[in-house]
Every structure is written in structure tokens, then in C-alpha cells.
């Protein structure tokens, strides 16, 4: 697919719904061509969007991830922005009850997939001496929650990856930042009115966050005014932590 050399190209994993979908919509408003990798089928309302390229991909599977990355590299002159958003395993599972399969699926999606997709796309960013990598983390990375040993540790690893990679690639003009959402209400993270009220009591702003509020932070971080921000974890949690 030919994309104007003046138009930026962004890869967003897990872009079919939730925070990923909000990021996609924000990028489209900014006239960015968005390449989405998701295990879900393309949403009907995005199917005819000319500035979206959609790839059904399970990034926890290295063969699928590599095939996706190679196709993106072949079809586009460059990738300007990478958003590692795809994640799984937020449900509560106590360690004593956890299977090896659950642990591996969570870490292979949330951490390994992000690391190796970044590795595949990084060469082009280095050659172009520019690029922004945004890793979508979670307050679970530092806020202790029973039942979240797999999820929390995968997100903590993602933040360590962010800091170390930022130090590695800064000399090439590439920035790496983690965005750390708090309690965000999405299609898969729904709450009853009673649950919402209870959770809100622990948040300074006394409400849950919206996916578009995370997307706006990402929009800023990939923009030129954020050009001196790298290696940081930006917490967006309404003052919960």
C-alpha cells in the first residue's frame, strides 16, 4: 500500500477495542495511517477506512508476529510510531491456582510480544534516525493486587523494558515511553453502578477513566512538543496512586 511520504505510519497492537481503539481513532484524526494487529476481526465501522491497514495477528505467537512485522516492513517505507497495547490476563488468578499456560500466555502477550515486535521494527527507526515507541502498562506494575502476579509482573517488565530501551536507542533519535493507565472502563472492563461507586472512592477525581483520556496522552507523547520525554512512565489514573 502506498502511503504519502508526508503521512506518518503508526502500528497499534490490540487496536480493535478499548484503549487501543481510542488510540487508533485519535491517530486517524491526526491524519496518521494506522496499522492494526489484533486477534479480533476488524470492527465493521473501520473496514472501509482508507487510513487503516488491519492484520489479524496473535502477537503471543512469534511466527505470526514475525510474519506481521515483515509484511509491514515490506509494504510501508517506514514505521514512525509503535504502540504496544495488546494485553491479556487481567482476571484475578491466585498463584496457587495458576497454570503454566496462563502464566506463559500473559507474559508472551504483554511482554514478549511487545519486546519482539519492537525488535523487528526498530531497525527501520534506527535507519531513519527517528521514531516513538509507546508501551501501554498498568498501575498493576507497582500497585499490589492479589490475583495479579502474572499480569502485574508482565507490566512491571514492560516498564523496565521501556527504561532500558530508551537508554539504548536515544542516540538514534528514538524515544520510548510507557503510559500507565489506572482504572479505565472499557468493553471488557465493565462495572456495575455499585462497583463503580466503590472504586471511585479510592480515586482523587472520584470517577473511572475513559479510553479516550489515555489516547490523548499518547497523542501528546508522540508529538513534537514531547520531543524531550523518554524513558519515563506517565501515570494516568485520576490520582488513585
Q: Which residue intervals of the chain are DSSP H helices?
A: 18-29, 62-75, 100-107, 113-128, 149-169, 193-200, 211-221
How long a stretch of residues is the chain? 241
CB–CB of 36/10 below 8 Å?
A: no
The catalytic residue among 54, 55, 151, 172 is 151
Strands 33-38 and 52-56: parallel
Instruction: Write out the three cell numbers for 28.
Output: 486517524
- The total of other beta-carbon atoms located within 10 Å of residue 80's CB is 20
Query: For residues 135 and 95, what is the distance between their CA atoms, to the nearest angstrom?
Result: 25
- The three-state secondary structure class of 37 is strand
Q: Cα-atom radius of gyration of the chain, to the nearest Å? A: 17
* Joined grid coordinates for residue 156: 512491571
Active site (annotated) includes residue 151 = yes
Catalytic annotation, residues? 151
Amino acid at each position: 500500500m502506498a502511503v504519502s511520504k508526508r503521512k506518518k505510519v503508526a502500528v497499534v497492537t490490540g487496536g480493535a477495542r478499548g484503549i487501543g481503539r481510542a488510540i487508533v481513532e485519535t491517530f486517524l484524526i491526526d491524519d496518521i495511517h494506522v496499522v492494526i494487529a489484533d486477534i479480533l476481526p476488524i470492527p465493521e465501522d473501520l473496514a472501509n477506512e482508507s487510513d487503516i491497514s488491519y492484520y489479524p495477528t496473535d502477537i503471543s505467537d512469534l511466527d505470526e508476529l514475525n510474519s506481521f512485522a515483515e509484511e509491514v516492513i515490506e509494504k510501508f517505507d517506514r514505521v514512525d510510531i509503535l504502540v504496544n497495547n495488546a494485553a491479556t490476563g487481567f482476571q484475578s488468578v491466585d498463584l496457587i491456582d495458576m497454570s503454566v499456560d496462563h502464566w506463559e500466555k500473559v507474559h508472551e502477550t504483554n511482554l514478549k510480544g511487545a519486546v519482539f515486535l519492537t525488535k523487528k521494527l526498530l531497525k527501520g527507526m534506527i535507519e531513519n534516525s527517528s521514531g516513538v515507541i509507546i508501551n501501554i502498562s498498568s498501575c498493576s506494575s507497582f500497585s499490589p493486587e492479589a490475583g495479579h502476579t502474572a499480569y502485574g509482573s508482565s507490566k512491571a517488565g514492560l516498564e523496565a523494558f521501556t527504561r532500558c530501551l530508551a537508554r539504548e536507542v536515544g542516540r538514534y533519535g528514538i524515544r520510548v515511553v510507557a503510559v500507565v493507565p489506572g482504572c479505565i472502563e472499557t468493553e471488557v472492563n465493565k462495572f456495575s453502578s455499585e462497583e463503580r461507586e466503590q472504586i471511585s472512592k479510592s480515586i482523587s477525581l472520584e470517577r473511572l477513566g475513559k479510553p479516550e483520556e489515555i489516547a490523548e496522552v499518547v497523542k501528546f507523547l508522540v508529538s513534537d512538543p514531547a520531543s524531550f520525554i523518554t524513558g519515563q512512565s506517565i501515570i494516568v489514573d485520576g490520582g488513585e496512586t
